[in-house]
Amino acid sequence: MSARSILKVNHISKYYSGVKALDDVSFEIQEGEMHALCGENGAGKSTLIKILTGAIRPTSGNFEFDGATYTEMNPGKAMEAGIRAIYQEFTLVPYLSVADNLFFGREPVKGIIRDRKKAEEETRKLCESIGISIDPKAKVESLGIAQQQIVEILKAVSNKAKFFIMDEPTAPLTVNETETFFKIIRQLKENGATIIFISHRLEEVFELCDRVTVFCDGKFVVTKDVKDVDRKQLISYMVGRELADTYPEGDMASEENILEVKGLTNSKLKDVSFYLKKGEVLGFGGLVGAGRTEMARALFGADPVKKGELILKGKPYSPKNPSNALAHGIGLIPEDRKTQGLIMEMSVEGNTTISILKQMVTNHISLNKKKEHECSRKYIEELKIKTPSAGQLVKNLSGGNQQKVVLAKMMAADCDVLIFDEPTRGIDVGAKQEIYTLMREITSKGKSIIMISSDMPELIGMSDRIIVMSNGSVSGELNRGEFAQETILEYASSKV
């Protein structure tokens, strides 16, 4: 690895209305390395990215990039310098071809006519340079998520990028897609690129990165060679305290079945049957597209049921819609909290009480603001939601605290069964531990949890039993003593 520093961050601070998003941060990144940037949500990682790419200006300090010093940057200058950020949300135009996306706004021309053939040929060469094969004529919307992510990288390479900032790039990818993506970024590194890699999945940091820098509460904590730090040490640096490296244990579940599902069938599900005990965490494993989310939506009344029998607390249950499911005591914390679980422009208080608005109304006309405030304050304190006030817009909260607000909404509705769909996706390690503890506190009160998770350690660590799904059907069931990653994957890949 070259010892030359391509980036030097010098005493950068950024304040927002007195809040220190970054506080006197200094560190260096060496040319040609893959450098992890770790920290909890709110640690200052995103603020630094925005400063480096020119989206915002620092309050004080500067940075040196490739020999030039910048007290402020703008997006045009950043691209010209070779800095490019790649996010989990894509910036591609779906109805245009791969080649059109790569050369959008700077199309090669022949005379006064756009030279489509040259654009496609240049795209092929770029694909070859990082060892992949994608049809330059294919429309982006026809590609898989991993291929779209690769097109984002190609777009940056075609713009002469040499310094890549990858912010949670694997969050939307499946296990197989992630492996493909890893090959591409390793090839980029071999071709001389420098990469800042941001991920809440610490196993990716240890697999891919040369060095790691940790932020905590807007401050620089440490830079270490990855080989010189273990997972427990890294988490301790990130959260500023020791965290238990195990999943919290729950009480023994009751033998009483709170929910029985018999032959649940619709357009995506085929004869799904299982039971849920009072006070247990029932995990659902399987590959993406196995039918786990569709099962959750059917139980929550969001998708229709063609046939099958549902028995809730000993009585027939047939949810007409999500409101009806909530009225029966079944709640869903969805995978996509921002679009399905929350109203981002509404306050913490408004989101918490929206599921029980009827209880908040006085004389069938107006909201009882005192009652609404008491309810939201209760769950802010109980779930330790970090927010300046109950009136704070949820869009301004960290991912972990947004997830807690969705949970508060379901708890306010007094649900007996809570369905968590990917409960910690996109959440930092400290917030994950808090969510796990909350889940066990919920089951200790006799409530039951169905947990859908693609995170294998989480699935094995948090579940009391595991149901595995494949192709819309149940392919296996495991009790705690039978948990093994190989067994779960074998069931998940079986053809039912």
Q: Residue ranges per domain, the chain?
A: 5-239, 257-492
Q: What is the pLDDT of residues 237-248, one digit of tens each?
A: 887 766 555 688
Per-residue b/e over 131-147, b at no fewer than 16 CB within 10 Å?
Answer: ebebbbeeebeebeebb
If you average pLDDT over every residue of the chain, what do you get? 87
CA distance 475 to 285: 10
Greater confidence (25 vs 153) lies with 25
Mean pLDDT of 210-218: 93
Q: Which of 63-72, 117-126, 200-209 has the highest mean pLDDT?
A: 63-72
CATH architecture designation of domain 257-492: 3-Layer(aba) Sandwich (3.40)
Q: Point out the least confidently predicted range of 339-343, 353-357, 359-363, 477-481.
A: 359-363
Amino acid at 103: F
Read off the pLDDT band of 1 (50, 70, 90): very low
Answer for the pair 49, 212: CB distance below 8 angstroms, yes or no. Answer: no
* Rounded average pLDDT over 5-11: 96
* pLDDT digits 0-9 by tens, 124-153: 888 887 777 888 898 988 887 777 878 888
pLDDT band at 483 (very low <50, low <70, confident <90, very high): very high
- Give CATH for domain 5-239: 3.40.50.300
296-333 tens-digit pLDDT: 999 999 999 999 999 999 999 999 999 999 999 999 98
Q: What is the pLDDT of residue 418?
A: 94
Helix/strand/coil for 420? strand
- Say whether 257-492 and 5-239 share the same fold: yes
Report which listed range, 188-197, 221-230, 232-241, 373-382, is most confident. Answer: 221-230
- 475/151 Cα distance (integer angstroms): 35
Question: Torsion-angle region of residue 301: left (phi > 0), alpha (psi -120 to 50) or beta?
Answer: left
